[in-house]
Amino acid sequence: MTDDVRFEIQGSIGCITLDRQRALNSLTLEMIRAMQVQLDAWAEDPNVGAVLIEGAGEKSFCAGGDVVAVRRSRLEEGETGKPTQLMLDFFGEEYRLNRSISDYPKPYIALLDGVTMGGGVGISVHGTFQIATERTLFAMPETGIGLFPDVGGGWFLPRCPGELGTYLALTGAPVKAADCLYIKAATHFVPSDRLPALRAELLALDFKGDAAGRISVLLSEHAASGGDAPLAERRALIDKAFAHDRVEDIIAALKAVGGDFGEETAALLEHRSPTSLKVTLEMLRRGARCASLAEDLEMEFTMVQSFLVAGDFFEGVRALLVDKDRAPKWSPSTLEAVTPEAVAAYFAPDGKIGL
């Protein structure tokens, strides 16, 4: 269906290789559709005992979704006041894929060797095992492009220790392997030079019986210490500042703390989309009360439809990924101008994706 993702059965493992290296293996709609079809087929294939997904090259597992193509669809179809069909298909089918991975009947292993952001988090964190390396760079940077941390972020992030998920969601701050282990975005740390041996032994495993148990034992044999987690050291400060339910209060708390971390984090938030920040914070609080990933993804699909007709998403993608001037002009431009009523409108039911 597309040359940007490859599928192969090796041993008893269904292997997925994302191979769009020119774009850091970011996901297109065609890739999402191909993965869904193949995962569905392997779920019923008795010759496949587990699934292994990785990114081609040494730079990236998956840097996210192809939001440039999503923006292009709006430019090509004109301002219609509603999402284009490509937009609805892209996000709806991406969220379905995230749900499928979460419910997959066989062990699902993701090798996070390199950049893992946005949509790359969605096709890894909901699986059975996630292996980080010293090259892993993990982030949910969507508030910087006028969107929100989707692909199940409303489910995963509120369940990180303390308020670390709130911090990561609002700031988009990138973290490395030790922090991935701490927030449970990774189950194991394996140095990249050990991956070939790990992969070879995975392919030789007998998956009869407790496949997940055998994989877990093998991963533990190859795993090493990821080191101390910087987020753990800042946990108390982050928990206190990001416990507030208003973004303005979070920023004020950070400024009151002062020091490099407080001042730099407050400044970072002040450059994010005000609408994205407020809607994301509300999503996190609601997501903490969701009973399932499916419920969260339905909420996110409602939200994304509003983001796809608002201006900040298109302006953010333009400024950071198209023109790359890194000077987005947000509208509204201040947090104070984003009213509670405006935030609530992003959660008004618009359509379901049938999860």
Residue 254 lies in a domain: no
What confidence score (pLDDT) does residue 350 get?
63
Is 213 one of the annotated active-site residues of the chain?
no
pTM: 0.95
Domain count, the chain: 1
DSSP 27: B
Confidence of residue 120 (pLDDT cuts 50, 70, 90): very high
Distance of CA 21 to the CA centre of its chain: 18
Task: Please compute the mean of the pLDDT values over residues 66-84 and round it to a whole number.
Answer: 86
What confidence score (pLDDT) does residue 75 get?
85
- Rounded mean pLDDT of the chain? 95
Asked if 48 contacts 9 with a C-beta cutoff of 8 angstroms, the reply is yes
Residue 255 lies in a domain: no
Residue 353 lies in a domain: no
Residue 235 lies in a domain: no
What confidence score (pLDDT) does residue 78 get?
72
CA nearest to 302, candidates 339, 346, 355 = 346
148: helix, coil or strand? coil
Residue 29 lies in a domain: yes
Is 270 one of the annotated active-site residues of the chain?
no
Say how far apart CA 335 and CA 274 lie, in whole Å. Answer: 5
pLDDT in tens, 168-208: 999 999 999 999 999 999 999 999 999 999 999 999 998 88
CA distances from 279 to 83, 92, 106 (A): 19, 19, 35
What confidence score (pLDDT) does residue 116 get?
98
List the domain range (segments joined by +) for residue 276.
5-227+267-345
Is 65 one of the annotated active-site residues of the chain?
yes
pLDDT in tens, 226-243: 999 999 999 999 999 999
Residue 248 lies in a domain: no
Confidence of residue 1 (pLDDT cuts 50, 70, 90): low
Is 142 one of the annotated active-site residues of the chain?
yes
Neighbouring CB atoms inside 10 A of 39's CB total 21
Confidence of residue 151 (pLDDT cuts 50, 70, 90): very high
Asked if 227 contacts 239 with a C-beta cutoff of 8 angstroms, the reply is no
Q: Which residues contact 47 (CB under 8 A, 6 or more apart)?
A: 9, 12
Confidence of residue 248 (pLDDT cuts 50, 70, 90): very high
Which residue in 4, 54, 150, 163 is the catalytic one? 150
Confidence of residue 46 (pLDDT cuts 50, 70, 90): very high
Say how far apart CA 236 and CA 317 lie, in whole Å. Answer: 34
Which residue in 4, 54, 94, 142 is the catalytic one? 142
Residue 309 lies in a domain: yes
Which residue in 65, 146, 172, 316 is the catalytic one? 65
- Token duo for residue 306: 């509003």
What confidence score (pLDDT) does residue 28 get?
97
pLDDT in tens, 304-328: 999 998 899 999 999 999 999 999 9
% of the chain residues with pLDDT over 90: 91
Which residue in 119, 127, 152, 172 is the catalytic one? 119
- CATH code for the domain in which residue 171 is found: 3.90.226.10
Residue 259 lies in a domain: no
Strands 5-10 and 50-55: unpaired
